[in-house]
């Protein structure tokens, strides 16, 4: 019984850390499944030692397919984050944001990044958003993305 309680407490701690990670970002509702239902997203979350190679402590990615209206809604949230960020690179196709590499204000000494990509898939859009934390620089991220 004590093991079950301990496992529940550990699970709650892990999930609460994930919820706090995107604090202060306009696109946080996307990560929380409030814009696109979580069951329609592919969510990837990694933290810990395996990320050291990339100079990262935390990685959370969401990928989903949506109609143009929802794509514009998500893009508007990301654009709001870009507008208030320490630095941001963006690309637009018409009215839709298709690429962004955003560096929000750091949390102490920890750098934070928001990466966004939207690609057309017929009448729909496939959107990928990554939230990263760690000591990696923008140059480190660019180098990492070029290799993939």
Q: Give this prediction's pTM.
A: 0.81
Q: Give residue 24's pLDDT.
A: 78
pLDDT in tens, 2-55: 444 433 344 444 443 444 456 679 999 999 999 999 999 999 999 887 788 889
Select from 118, 125, 127 the least CA-distant residue to 68. Answer: 125
Residue 13, Cβ density class (10 Å: 0-12 exposed, 13-18 middle, ≥19 buried): exposed
For the stretch 55-114, pLDDT in tens is: 999 999 999 999 999 999 999 999 999 999 989 999 999 888 999 999 998 878 889 999
């Amino acid at each position: 019984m004590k093991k079950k309680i301990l496992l529940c407490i550990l699970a709650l701690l892990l999930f609460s850390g994930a919820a706090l990670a995107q604090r202060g970002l306009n696109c946080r509702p996307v990560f929380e499944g409030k814009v696109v239902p979580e069951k329609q997203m592919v969510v990837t979350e990694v933290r810990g030692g395996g990320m050291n190679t990339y100079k990262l402590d935390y990685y959370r990615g969401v990928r989903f397919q949506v109609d143009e209206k929802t794509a514009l809604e998500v893009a508007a949230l990301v654009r709001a984050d870009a507008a208030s960020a320490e630095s941001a690179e963006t690309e637009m196709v018409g009215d839709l944001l298709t690429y962004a590499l955003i560096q929000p204000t750091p949390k102490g000494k920890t750098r934070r990044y928001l990466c966004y990509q939207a690609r057309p898939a017929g009448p729909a859009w496939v959107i990928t958003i990554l939230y990263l934390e760690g000591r990696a620089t923008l140059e480190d991220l660019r180098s990492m993305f070029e290799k993939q």
